[in-house]
Structure 1
Amino acid sequence: MSPGPHDAPDRSLAIETRGLTKRFGDVDAVTDLDLAIPAGVVYGFLGPNGSGKTTTMRMLTTLTRPTSGEAFVAGSPITDRDAVIDHIGYLPESPPVFEELTARENLRYVASLHDIPRSQADAEIDEYLERFGLADAADRRVEGYSKGMRQKLGLVQAIIHDPDVIFLDEPTSGLDPRAARTVKDLIAELADRDVTIFLSTHILSVVDELADRVAVLHDGELVAEGSPDELKHRAESTVESTLEDAFLRITDDHDDEPVEPEDEVMA
């Protein structure tokens, strides 16, 4: 039997949601979402535009309060922001960087928010700047950075404090193939260290390559969940089919289902 509201969180899970719902006016952006994600899992979170993916991530990162239901991240309820925030990293689709600061200054600021000693922070900052090809531009103001450079800086900001759970929204957006490979390698390394990666992207080949589990959200509801291979099988795809084929089949099947008029517009 599923745990009821206000039951203690399952400590074996990095992310747990129970009936998580977010309503904007008369529109349900996310409806009765139940997730149970163990530590160390790369969890692909897929859905068409407007399906509720970003709203879900904003709730799990304490940026948006749910209308109903509950969720726990790293064992703490998302209603307790102070308890959650030190355990998570978040890269939104538009990285939150200070344009008037340099990359190094941005990273030192984020490190200071997490009380990382200056010497330790500087060593880690240098390592990540080198790894992501930003060392030569580290002391330039971010206002002159390209989209890809900002994306890499935002990713380092999300992981500099060694969080237990990392939420990534389109992490390879704007990156050239070499930089995208660096990001994918890093995701795999983090998962090997028992870090949980909650990964949302439209680049389904990235999810197919990295994800242990995949969920598909459609009109705010969870319509499929399993390993990439399980989703391909569920969608009755051929052996040679990709996760993209399965995703299109699953979402097409639900597009064919009748809906009430008020469900046709999604925030």
Structure 2
Amino acid sequence: MTDIPRDAPQPSALPEAVAPPASRDSLPAMQLAGLAKHFGQKVAVAGLDLTVPTGSFYGLVGPNGAGKTTTLSMATGLLRPDAGTVGIHGVDVWTHPVEAKKLIGNLADGVRLFDRLTGEQLVTYTGMMFGLTRDEVGARTADLLQIMDLTEAAGTPVVDYSAGMTKKVALACALVHAPRLLVLDEPFESVDPVSAANIEDILRGYTASGGTVIVSSHSMDLVQRMCDHVAIIAQGRLLASGTVDEVRGGQTLQDRFVELVGGRHHAEGPQWLRQS
């Protein structure tokens, strides 16, 4: 394994080795058409159509149970849809899964890591699965562990990481093969504010260089601050999509979300809960 220097300076931006390739095309980063999934009688996703422009920072928001994770799982090849198609830069995920997955860096919710490996071993193993040479993966792993402030924990088994550290090493695994598209399900959950700010900087640099980020989050403030496009889904259906300004229509994104999704209770709560 790579001997990672303990006193190496912390990079302030995504290393060149992890930046997306320079060549670009005019195809969307992700194209969903008629995507559908049922679990028994429950409709999880109901014929969803969505286009994610290349180079965008795209937010996917919705209430609990809206179908966000199911949609992203189908879009990244983790869950086969009942109907519909998924294209990643023009490559059909379910017709050419290996080619499509090479284009995707995926931070999925609830997917187990090989947590008996150390952080360094896990990122290295992930890079080698994507065909990187040992020299390439060694340099990239060192860069990513520095960026994620995990250098001191490089030799610690991931099973002993905190929730925030586990999230960061999973993000490093998603980045190591320099994907063209990052799909991140709640990437800031359990991450401390300093690390979250560093990750934001990395993602902004990634999109500025031509990469595309799709982030699923419950934080409307985060999505409104970071994203240039957003889609709101509920009950497996698309309610609105477009640029953040188009979707919020002069309101805050939070107010527009509640207006579209519904379900807000304006009552002051039960009498017994009041303190006077």
Q: TM-score, normalised by structure 2?
A: 0.83
* Aligned counterpart for 1:166 among listed residues 168, 175, 182: 182
What are the within-5 Å matches in structure 2 for residues 111-260 of structure 1? 111-233=127-249, 237=251, 242-252=252-262
Specify the code of the residue in structure 2 equivalent to 1:45. Answer: L
Question: 1:48 maps to what in 2?
Answer: 63
Specify the code of the residue in structure 2 equivalent to 1:246. Answer: R
Matched-pair identity in %: 33
Distance in 1, matches of 2:228 and 2:112, equals: 28
Matched, 1:32 2:47: yes
Shift of 1:197: 0.8
Gaps of 5+ in 2: 1-24, 266-276
CA deviations 1:83-122 (Å, max 9, x no partner) are 2111101101246422211000001100110111111211
Distance in 1, matches of 2:263 and 2:42, equals: 22
Matched, 1:76 2:91: yes
SS in 2 for 1:175: coil
Distance in 2, matches of 1:216 and 1:99, equals: 34
Aligned residue pairs total 240
**Alpha-carbon contact 1:218-1:254 (below 8 Å) kept:** no
Distance in 2, matches of 1:83 and 1:205, equals: 35
Seen in structure 2, the aligned counterparts of structure 1 residues 33 and 206 have a Cα distance that, compared at 3 Å, is same
Specify the code of the residue in structure 2 equivalent to 1:63. Answer: L
Specify the code of the residue in structure 2 equivalent to 1:100. Answer: R
Shift of 1:253: 7.5
Seen in structure 2, the aligned counterparts of structure 1 residues 95 and 29 have a Cα distance that, compared at 3 Å, is closer
SS in 2 for 1:62: coil
Seen in structure 2, the aligned counterparts of structure 1 residues 254 and 59 have a Cα distance that, compared at 3 Å, is farther
Shift of 1:127: 1.2
Question: 1:18 maps to what in 2?
Answer: 33
Seen in structure 2, the aligned counterparts of structure 1 residues 226 and 253 have a Cα distance that, compared at 3 Å, is farther
Distance in 1, matches of 2:247 and 2:33, equals: 23
Shift of 1:11: 5.2
Specify the code of the residue in structure 2 equivalent to 1:204. Answer: M
Question: 1:263 maps to what in 2?
Answer: none
SS in 2 for 1:82: helix
Shift of 1:74: 2.1
Shift of 1:225: 1.1
CA deviations 1:199-228 (Å, max 9, x no partner) are 101122221111111000010000011222
Seen in structure 2, the aligned counterparts of structure 1 residues 20 and 11 have a Cα distance that, compared at 3 Å, is farther
Bigger Cα displacement from structure 2, 12-21 vs 86-95: 86-95
Q: TM-score, normalised by structure 1?
A: 0.85
Specify the code of the residue in structure 2 equivalent to 1:210. Answer: M
Shift of 1:36: 1.5
CA deviations 1:232-257 (Å, max 9, x no partner) are 21xx63xxxx32222122211799xx
Matched, 1:109 2:125: yes
